[in-house]
Amino acid sequence: MEKRSYTSGHHGSHEERKRALLREGEFYRTGVAHARAQIRTASRPEVMFHSVIDHATWALRTRADALLKPTGTSVSVLAPYALTVLGFIRKRRLGKPALGVAAVLGAAAWYLQRKRARDVAY
């Protein structure tokens, strides 16, 4: 689609065209000022760090949701339960035993997945 300029092909008085051009210039200047302010804000270290954290969180949640999709659940459904369990573990100071149990369960899941993949291949 062609952008029409107020100077070419526009019928009207000289004053109308002048007002239209001034209005267009004011919109342009406002847009430039807004863009400069956004760049100035976005280039601050704390804003950049926050953006990185948001992106990483989004990427991890997307991966977790993709893994949970076959089960019919999602991170948002499991999050309240996970936070309750984590609060219980923190309150009872069971961090090290919980890490041990998580490591054992992770190793068992890895072994079963590997065994299942080997059985399917043969």
pLDDT at 117: 86
pLDDT digits (tens, 9 = 90+) for 68-109: 888 888 999 999 999 999 999 999 999 999 999 999 999 999
On whether the pTM is more than 0.75, the answer is: no
- Rg of the Cα trace of the chain? 29
Average pLDDT of span 3-32: 82
Q: Is the dihedral of CA 70, 71, 75, 76 positive or negative?
A: positive
Q: Euclidean distance between the first and final Cα of the chain, in Å?
A: 60
Question: Residue 5: enclosing H or E segment and its boundaries?
Answer: none
75 contacts: CB under 8 Å, gap ≥ 6: 61, 64, 65, 68
| pLDDT exceeds cutoff 80 at 122 | no
